């Protein structure tokens, strides 16, 4: 599981929360999209889920997940942002995608992560 997020966001404790609540996953962290792409490329294991901010300096969340999906087609993605204009998040084909608005409480984060991982 990978977290790619703007370093100044309110998700500071998020990776630890997920790691404790979903013990079967290792959490990889990155400060932005460019670092997330590099971390993913160095990681030889499976990355089941990427949780990414939509808006980040450099490589943003949409571009990051497009590149990761090209390299790891089975990867699941959940988007997050504190920007209200992204309240309804859809992909390029107009389909709704997993999304959690910030700030959020750990319970909601864990539920959304579990739901995203369990998607068919």
Per-domain residue ranges of the chain: 2-117
Whole-model pTM above 0.85? no
Q: What architecture does CATH give domain 2-117?
A: 3-Layer(aba) Sandwich (3.40)
What integer pLDDT is reported at residue 45 of this predicted model? 92
Q: Which of 100, 118, 116 is nearest to 14 (CA)?
A: 100
Q: Which two tokens stand for residue 18?
A: 């997920």
How many Cβ atoms from other residues are within 10 Å of residue 68's Cβ?
22
> For each of the chain's 120 residues, which pLDDT tens digit applies?
656 655 544 445 466 666 656 657 778 888 899 999 999 999 999 998 998 988 888 999 999 999 999 999 999 999 988 876 555 566 666 667 888 888 878 788 888 888 998 887
């Amino acid at each position: 599981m990978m977290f790619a997020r703007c370093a100044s966001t309110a998700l500071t404790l998020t990776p630890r929360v997920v790691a404790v609540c979903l013990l079967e996953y290792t959490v990889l962290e990155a400060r932005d999209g460019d670092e997330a792409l590099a971390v993913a490329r160095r990681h030889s294991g499976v990355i089941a889920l990427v949780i990414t901010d939509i808006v980040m300096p450099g490589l943003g969340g949409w571009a990051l997940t497009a590149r990761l999906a090209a390299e790891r087609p089975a990867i699941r993605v959940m988007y997050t942002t504190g920007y209200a204009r992204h309240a309804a998040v859809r992909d390029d084909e107009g389909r709704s995608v997993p999304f959690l608005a910030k700030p959020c409480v750990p319970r909601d984060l864990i539920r959304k992560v579990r739901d995203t991982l369990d998607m068919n």
